Structure 1
Amino acid sequence: MAPKYAPDVRSRLAPLLLFLQTGFIILYYFSTEIESNVDGIIFSNFYPVFQDLNVMVFLGFGFLSSFLVRYGFSASGFSFLIAVMATQWALILNGIESWYYSGKIKLSLRSLGVAEMCTASVLISIGAVQGKTNHVQLILMALLEVFGFVLNEWLLQTLLSARNTHCIMVLHIFGAFFGLVLTWILYRKESEQGFEKEKLDRKAGLFSMLGTVFLWMFWPSFNSVLVDDHFPERKLRSVCSTYLALAVSAVASLAVSALSSPEGKVHPANFQSCIFAGGVAVGVSMSVIRYPWEAMTIGLTAAAVSTTGFRYLKVVINVFMCQFIISLPYTILCFPNQSHMLFAFECHDTCSVLSTHGLPGLLGWLTHLLLQIKQSDDHTTAIRFAVFHICVLLITITVSLTMGIITGVLLKWDIWRPPQDKKCFDDQAFWMFEHLAVRK
């Protein structure tokens, strides 16, 4: 007897996956080849870093979202599925320029690493809609967001002649804003009272802490992967700065969490979400960090902002989209004891991507701007960089919001059969568990 709980798994997910995977195989057959001129030294140096990225993308982000007691398997399983699909798609989109000039997309360890970093932006956005969407919606979201991220990268390189590192390191800001506008469009009235199955427990929290630790451990590789190997001092500076910022943010997030708690105790979800805020902020600003104390100060500030935002902030966004994309107006209000970011204008952020990635990313952007101006030799250079840096942010947020709106409108159609409110945050809607099966 076919399961009546979620018939869309067989009738919708399986055909979509087979269709997409067959399409990818055909595209790879006609347009890709593995790079032949490989330097053995570069390969041996880059492969460990590539493995670090794999741990972050496939293990860290997956387990990080498994804190929900009845949605842990879906959080980790769907994250893995989305990551492998998005990486294949990102390899194709990132190689379009190579295909245009040479007729083939060259695959290398570096291109795989860049594709996985594009995928990281998708995994950030998924946190905002976690538990309220089905697998088909998540796959479509991943394909559209990867396209938007690559489009943003192309615009930055074409209009501003930005380096690849500039384009990649805005992924936290891109992913956070994409996820926020998407969850605003897909908002459910049930979130005002709280979903019945959106609950935490200690065992699920331990698995989530495992993902947090893996992300924390491998974040230096994430920030330094695109630094040119011909400048080992820059790569070492990136690794050291990231590690110091992460260490300070771990200490500061625990302290601020305890200070902001009425009971004087550490909130586990608060601590886990904000422990790598320093890594996010330094990742955006690492090219201008010169001294260890700068990285440590950034880590302290990022953790304080992230932890305070996780616990208190409730952001009211003026979502008249034409005005929003042009002038980006917003107002910030404070409300005590919020377990997650709940936006006015109906926005429910499951994993608090604003506090975890958005606010630290914006702080890193501001730090980059201030430090670069301070290090400039003359006013003309400082003004030029300020204009360039502001344009990078405006283009990134504009593309992110635009693609988020398009994706949200598409995913809101009933043909995707989104889960009912009473079946949100429930693994049983998608997975077979023998011990829970009804016997006749």
Structure 2
Amino acid sequence: MGSKYPRSLRCCLPLWAFMLQTAFIFLFWFVISQDTAQVDRKFMANYQVLQDLTLVAALGFGFLSSSFRRHSWSSVAFNLFMLALGVQGTILLEHFLHQVLHWNKISNLSSPTPLPTARLTPLLSIQIATMSTLPVLISAGAVLGKVNLVQLAVMVVIEAMAFGAIRLADEMVFKIKDHIVMMHGHVFGAYFGLTVAWWLSRSLPRRVGENAQTEKVQMATSSSLFGMLGTLFLWIFWPSVNSALLEGTEKRNAVFNTYYALAVSTVTATSMSALSHPQGKINMVHIHNAVLAGGVAVGAPSGLISSPWIAMVLGLTAGLVSIWGAKCPTACWNHMLQNPTGIHYTFGLPGLLGGLTYYCLQITESPNSELGIIGQTVANIGALSFAVAMGMVTGLLTGCLLSVNVWRAPHAAKYFDDQTFWEFPHLAVGF
């Protein structure tokens, strides 16, 4: 297997980082302009939403995966690196998608005179870019500790483009609202990350991978407290995620319903965690992840739900599904999923539940003909299935690419180890 000492990234990481950053700067120079509109109440309201989204992305997801005994520094700092890189790339991609969708609408109108280009404000562009980067941060939970920053940079670029392709297809083919597409991003990110982690684990002998990870993925008390801090940030600000792209009554419903679902899933996850333990003890990993399941599940249908009890039932179901996904099948598919951070039962399964719930509510609340119901079924189920399929296919391709030796991946013996990437002055020189 070669030397167990990590290979230096002194040349590789700066080279790729500067190449990407230089490309982004030139593209911003040519295609992105500054907003000249006056600051008003709407601007400040949108900026508040952007602040909430940034807190979710930087602090929530950063600390959520920081509970590993020897990988807390990397979890927080690498999350910030991916967020900064992903937002820049997605702003450029959003500009391109906006132009494509605009000209597609013009061609459908068959207008003899070209319509003016719809204006996408920089603030809205940054807000959408931050939301579009959340699937990247979700998928990173499956591979953090097994890859270096160069591999993560490559993964960010590929996943951002894949999610952009999903948004384009959902808008032009399935005619799905952007809010629903963003909620499908939870499912896409979960199965993208799980597929990448599964492929990377295939090249390792099982005994080597297990011995390298068994002790390091255990939680330390202090680190677990920081992981709970990430959960609290996500719990508090998740209503902003679910309502960011909605307006009016739907936005109000989304905020209220998300709080109801989160509250019920928290109580359910805590009690079911105690029930699943022989001595009735609560598992902190369940609390880190399963309490968020209700917020994820209610994301897609949050604007449609008009009664609190529906959101509460959805939160109850999501909490049960999440604990079941965390506890029962672990022995059966632990080696296949490679899921130490729980993204499968935090975002994958609840996201699927939310997508199916949105479809059911839309069918029951809209008085459509039989042909219209068939069209809605094809659109909603097709868009959700497309997100899952794209996540697995592009995740497989990304896993193949990241397994190439040119990225200087860490040795399996150095998985989940901050010393692979960070300077520890108090340790022996030469590590």
Normalised by the length of structure 2, the TM-score is 0.90
Matches within 5 A, 1:71-220: 71-98=71-98, 106-187=120-201, 188=204, 189=206, 190-192=208-210, 195=213, 196-220=215-239
1:54 corresponds to 2:54: yes
1-structure distance, mates of 2:38, 2:294: 35
Asked whether the equivalents of residues 235 and 262 of structure 2 are also in contact (C-alpha less than 8 Å), the reply is yes
Q: Which amino acid aligns with 2:32?
A: T
Shift of 1:99: 5.3
1:387 corresponds to 2:378: yes
Shift of 1:378: 4.4
Gaps of 5+ in 2: 104-115
Cα deviation digits, residues 292-334 of structure 1 (max 9, x gap): 00001100110110012111124xxxxxxxxxxxxxxxxxxx7
Shift of 1:23: 1.2
Q: Give the fraction of aligned pairs with identical amino acids, expressed as a percent.
A: 38
Asked whether the equivalents of residues 99 and 105 of structure 1 are also in contact (C-alpha less than 8 Å), the reply is no
Cα deviation digits, residues 60-94 of structure 1 (max 9, x gap): 10000101011000000100001100110000011
The CA RMSD over aligned residues, in Å, is: 2.1
Q: Which amino acid aligns with 2:354?
A: G
Q: Which amino acid aligns with 2:364?
A: K
Question: In structure 1, what is the equivalent of residue 402 of structure 2?
Answer: 411
1:269 corresponds to 2:285: yes
Cα deviation digits, residues 184-209 of structure 1 (max 9, x gap): 11113234456242221101100000
Question: In structure 2, what is the equivalent of residue 368 of structure 1?
Answer: 358
Q: Which amino acid aligns with 1:357?
A: F
Q: Which amino acid aligns with 1:294?
A: I
- SS in structure 2 at match of 1:227: coil
Q: Which amino acid aligns with 1:244?
A: Y
Question: In structure 1, what is the equivalent of residue 415 of structure 2?
Answer: 424
1-structure distance, mates of 2:118, 2:95: 8
Question: In structure 2, what is the equivalent of residue 32 of structure 1?
Answer: 32
2-structure distance, mates of 1:266, 1:260: 9
Normalised by the length of structure 1, the TM-score is 0.88
Give the length in aligned residue pairs.
408
Asked whether the equivalents of residues 298 and 314 of structure 2 are also in contact (C-alpha less than 8 Å), the reply is yes
- Following superposition, which runs of at least 4 residues in structure 1 exceed 6 angstroms of deviation? 100-105
- Check 1:284–1:234 CA distance in 2 against 1; reply closer, same or farther (3 A cut): closer
Higher relative contact order (CA 8 A, sep 6+): 2
- Check 1:419–1:387 CA distance in 2 against 1; reply closer, same or farther (3 A cut): same
Q: Which amino acid aligns with 2:306?
A: R
Q: Which amino acid aligns with 1:57?
A: A
Question: In structure 1, what is the equivalent of residue 334 of structure 2?
Answer: 342
Higher fraction of strand: 1
Question: In structure 2, what is the equivalent of residue 288 of structure 1?
Answer: 304
Question: In structure 2, what is the equivalent of residue 225 of structure 1?
Answer: 244
1-structure distance, mates of 2:358, 2:63: 31
- Check 1:38–1:203 CA distance in 2 against 1; reply closer, same or farther (3 A cut): same
- SS in structure 2 at match of 1:34: coil
Q: Which amino acid aligns with 1:163?
A: K
